Structure 1
Amino acid sequence: MSEDRRKAGAIEEKRFRLLIDAVVDYAIYMIDPDGTIASWNSGAKRFKGYEEAEILGQHFSRFYTEDDRRAGLPQRALDTAIRDGRFEGEGWRVRKDGSHFWCHVVIDPIRDADGQLLGFAKITRDLTDRKMAEETLKQSEQQFRLLVQSVTDYAIYMLDPQGRLTNWNPGAQRIKGYAPEEVVGQHFSMFYTPEDRVAGEPQRALDTAVREGRFENRAWRMRKDGTRFMAHVVVDPIWGETGTLLGFAKITRDITEATTAQRTLEQTREALFQAQKMQAIGQLSGGIAHDFNNLLTVILGNLEIIRKRAVNEPKITRLVDNATQGALRGVSLTQRMLAFARRQELKTEPVQVAEMVQGITGLLRSALGPSVRLETHFPPGLEPALADMNQLELTVMNLVTNARDAMPQGGEILVSAQAVEIHAQSTLSLAAGQYICLSVSDNGEGMDDATLASAMDPFFTTKGLGKGTGLGLSMVHGFIEQLGGRFILKSHKDKGTTAELWLPVAAASGTTQPQAETQASAPVSRISILVVDDDSLVLTSTCLLLEDLGHKVTGANCAAKALELFSADQPFDLVITDMAMPHMSGAQLAHAIQEINPGIPIIIATGFAERLEGFAANLPRLSKPFNQLNLVEIIASTLK
């Protein structure tokens, strides 16, 4: 039986050896009590590189690195196995070719039935690939952490699934003002404004990120010091391999400066658009006013002749007088349109604003009625403003009347002024210098933003159908801009309106003395007059008015025709020419006529009432629409 048992044992040992040799992913071998290698399997040969014949009888410490051998690690591993019954660890080992590999090692002591140490069983597994992957991951994590910690323009941090902060980068500290120890563990809603927290915005951001895979928004956030900043926020959910929500990645950027710059750009674009719109409307209004003045010249001229010839017809004269009054309203309307278009002639002079307002206070109070109180406030020693006295008076009366209309239940109007110095970087779009700010304020109904934005548009009115032309404020705008100043309207619904007239100081801007009024001379004798106008109706009307005065009149419908008449040596005592004509303007025609006949008097007729320049600036000017008396006066003054 002992022989059979011995044979069975031998067979079992052979099978065990075959099993051990069949394992190629593990190095499995035996070590004697002194560390000498007593066996060697195929796995050991595969990743350590030694043949069995080369390694049997060698000490197992040869697989350790030089540093580990000097540190006594091989013997320490055996001592640990004897003491603790097992040694397990990881470390670098050396192959036959000198290359290193990372391995997991288990050493178990082998004892006989009496407890005597027979040696050690050593199992080694090559974990180099896993180690390299871990090192790569670790390096990647370190680089990512370094990257995140280096970012100072973005707040980058993590939240747990409940929204509590788990880390904090320097960018977050710079933007929000908190040190890491102040915020880690706190709920991220601490950065939201009180109104957003009440509205549930923090939780909505997390819910949106979970539901849609991302949350992105721009909104106000709070810094540690309580100030607000405009933030661009991105929240991304972080999911585990099993689909479990691990938390959120949150990136916040301070875009306050960019938002402010964008808003400033938009405001500048809007201001430019408004300026271009007003310029375009102004040009249109000026053109309409010019054509309208031509029509009114024709209408008033013919009505005047009819009135003279129907002097003994009361019924006809009443009709003519009524039509004349209607036409004169049209004259007032065109003057307002020209004021808006900035194409009127202003008689600028130094104006003592306080004295001017005090001079019309009585008239203003009588127009306001008992329910509206008028107050004035002017500092002593206020410098004179550069303005047209008559236009400025009309402007103040216009603004006070508007203020009265905005207070149907009564109220208070304050007219005041102050001296202000404007610097080059001012936002008022005014040239640097000294200005007088004349303001008219009321505590009436005020205007909402939409009404305020349209208040200075021509033909816009809030007074109802038939109660206003809508040219009042636009006229003021054009008048003040033409002076080199600025008209600013400020209003809030139910809080009243303030209209500011920014006028240049006369002493700082230089003054233009008002032109002396032309004194009418005695009627002149009958003369020969050449009338030039491209509008046939105006030409005919002007000729009829002059013929009615007894003059010999020749008409020309263009500058070329007028020059032909002069070339024919026709004797003319006076030329009256329209200013705005195609191909050759009245000023150019006047210059050409003076070249032919230097001594002949020339009168420029214009419907724009613009300031004439160059050669034409020295010529008498006849403003359209004109009547027969205007013709008599300007002919007399020109020929005197």
Structure 2
Amino acid sequence: MGKETTYNFLSGGGEMGELTRSKDWSKTSLGTPDTWSQSLRTTLGIILNSKFPMFLWWGPELLCFYNDAYRPSLGNEGKHPSILGMKAEEAWSEIWHIIKPLIDQVLEGGQSTWSEDQLIPIYRNGEIQDVYWTFSYSPVHNEQGEIAGVLVTCTETTQKVNSLKSLKDSNQRFWQNIAQSPIAMCIFRGPNYEVEIANDLMLSLWGKSEKEVLKKPIFEGLPEAKGQGLEKLLDQVYTTGEKFTAIERPVDLPRNGKMQTIFINFVYDALRESDGSISGIVAIASDVTTQVLARKTIEESEKRFRTLADNMHQLVWMADAKGWIYWYNQRWYDYTGSTFEEMQGWGWQKVHHPDHVDRVTQKIQRSWDTGEIWEDTFPLRAKNGEYNWFLSRALPIRDEKGNITHWLGSNTDITSQKIAEEQIQSFASELEKKVELRTKELRESNNSLKKSEMRNHLMVDEIQDYAIIYLDTEGNIENWNKGAEKIKGYNEKEIIGKHFSVFYIPSDRDSNVPQKLLTLAKEKGKAAQENWRVRKDGSLFWASVVITAIKDGDKNIIGYSKITRDLTEKKAADDKLKTSAKQLKLKNQELKKMNKELQSFAYVSSHDLQEPLRKIQTFASRIADKEKEVLSERGLDYLNRMQNATNRMRILIDDLLQYSRTTTAEHKFELTSFNKIVEETQQTFKEELEQKGAKFNLGEDVNLEIIRFQFRQLLSNLISNAIKFAKKDTSLVVDIKTKTGIGTSFGIDSLSPKKQYCHIAFSDNGVGFDPQHNDKVFEIFHRLHGKSEYSGTGIGLAIVKKIISNHNGIIMAEGILNQGVTFDIYVPINRPKLKKK
């Protein structure tokens, strides 16, 4: 047309209306629009102004017309706008073989067509693309009623088809995932829970074939599952949409033709549609029967172990591989009065003695680190605050690869052995002190006895292994530990299932001793015996046996624990100890005899020696008083010498009597204020001290359990010495200081490490003595000064040492010439008390 000509039927129509109006139609078979038939005009007016995609083929050449709604289907860089007014066969050459038959069907038969989601590839966007359409071809008649064109109404459904295809693929993959899932899965559809799909694992779990359950409500295909609460769970998930998870739920299902309880972990989850509505349930399940039964077996075994452990006399505990204690038996809590919260992990340190806890911690940490068996002895605090000694052992428990999984430990009370040792040591010490004052032969005998006793103690200390055996109610062996294997000589395979009477000597079996012990344990709860037992190789050992009835929560006897200790060496030691005790008795009898002789000596000294001495002194005094004028100067000298000699003899006899009394007098210990007894003793020397201008410096007072009259004698001798050896023209100064503490705090090996002592330091500022005499001043009759300088017998300090010995203490002297002397005295604050075994 050359330029745009306005026609009413072509008005509007957007882009395609403008293109139609501006096209030069004179070059087509249709000619200019003013020559077009009314039917074409009407049809084009409808198409161009419609919002629905439309296309028109018109005339014999099927020239192409389309509207703006159809325009997007042609894409870019394709047929638009070139196909406007183009012949159909040229415009759609790539799909002509598809659409030509449909067009002919309309032109020839006058019938409309309908195609839904039809694949018709077209050229657009620079390439041939697969495009899906839903369309209809309809005939358009001219004024004569003839079919003059074909009207196409269509919509592109490519996106819809691709989405459905993706959904189908996704569903297919979903079904494949279910079928190939390594866990049991299925889908229930609808409120009747029809089985839509179930994989082989789920069918195996149900004990059903696919034919029996597929496309059927689950409780119709699997009626055995009814009445077990599963219906309610499915209803809850289906109606609320809330997921349900079950762990180890027991369910009865068919297995090999009969019902069997199995344990299942499963999840029910709502299956939702795109609109959020619930259309079914997805079920995922896992059969954990094997694991549950295995765990229950382990738990039952552990329960039996803990029952056994709780009935043991020992304190038993378990720790993980790194030493964190996570379990104690009931005996531990009964003894310590503690709770698990207080004791878990390293809490056990709270009941250890503060003097031992660091050592024990370091030693057991080495075992945790190296995996070596741990063994130690130490005191543990009971709930009443007292400490008992325990022997503790811990064994590493390893898996099949040799890795430590946990530790098993036990603590055995050995306080009675410790007390027995202390008693023996005390007896031996007392014997040694008595024998030391008498004969070398007795000292050597006592040393031999002490060595024998130490060997016996070592033998007792080596008794550390226990045989722990679990018996059923008939006395048959069900379980035992490594200690039992070591003591009895049997391995586990040889002994499990046999009656425990196999360990008894024939005479005991003939007397029915094993059954009698079981009966006693059944009636009384426990039975104990010491006697000979038989090992596998026929050898005998002396055994201490304790059989304890083990009861369940209803107090029914479910078995017995039998704990055996090999006391063969202890029995031998006890036999030797009895022999030693007999020897000790004989030695004591000999000592008593010697004491009587010593008392006789004291009597002779006090009467037979003092009586003539008094007469000599009397007659000498009379001569001095009445015959003095008739005596020559030499006679007077001889008389003075005689009187001095008799005075020294009297003092010597008195000192010997005093020394004797410190040995033979009754040892009556009394709780006494030390400063008070010092002050009392000072009063007896009041005049002498005043003459010396003496000054006493007393330290802090302390109450001591001592033999009062002996300690007064001790202080009297020390004060007397201080006065005697005071410097001329110098005021006497005496310092008496006290300090208390345990033996180790003073750094003296001969003190008992844990015993409480009082250190008394007695110092003066007198003439002192050469330090080379420090150890000799306590020897009887030993004098450091001439008779002409200082009077005395050399017995005073020997008496002091004997008094300290009577108090189980020690005394040391440290002299400095012309500066004074210090006596260091260490005595127990409390008198030693022998504990009964």
TM bracket, shorter-chain basis: 0.3 to 0.5
The TM-score normalised by the length of structure 2 is 0.37
Bigger relative CO (Cα 8 Å, ≥ 6 apart): 1
